[in-house]
Amino acid sequence: MDNPLESWDPRQERTLLEQVLAAGIELKPGDRVRLRPRHNGGDIFDIALRGRIATIAAIEQDFENRIHLAVTVDDDPGSDLGLDGKPGHRFFFSPDEVEVVGDDEGNGEQSS
């Protein structure tokens, strides 16, 4: 008998959304945002990515109906891998952990 987990791909079962509203602002894939993790301290990724500019690659809804923004960090030389869904170059934040940046903001500089 075949093992059903061998053919299971969680990416095929995820719900992708075209947009989400956060604090009255529409967020959609392709938008550039500044990362603002909620927890001071947090884990190493919260510390390392705080204030960085990222691009929303996808908006996903999990099995508990929570919304997650999958982002790639703009100055990551491997950001194209994140766009392909590869781990290590794709990070997840809730909509309230980002702020939209203007076209003239975030040209490679980091802010905290």
CATH of residue 44: 2.30.30.490
Pair of tokens at residue 70: 């999958």
What was the pLDDT predicted at 109? 47
Q: How many domains does the chain have?
A: 1
The DSSP secondary-structure symbol of 3 reads -
**Which domain covers residue 49, as residue numbers?**
10-100
pLDDT tens across the length of the chain (112 residues): 566 556 655 555 567 878 888 888 899 999 999 999 987 667 888 888 999 999 999 999 888 889 999 999 999 887 777 777 777 788 999 999 999 998 766 555 454 4
106 domain residue, yes or no? no
Which of 110, 112, 93, 86 has the alpha carbon at shortest distance from 31?
Answer: 93
Q: Which residues pair with 99 in a beta bridge?
A: 34
**DSSP string computed for 60-98:** EE-TTS-EEEEEEETT-TTHHHHHTT-TTS-EEE-GGGE
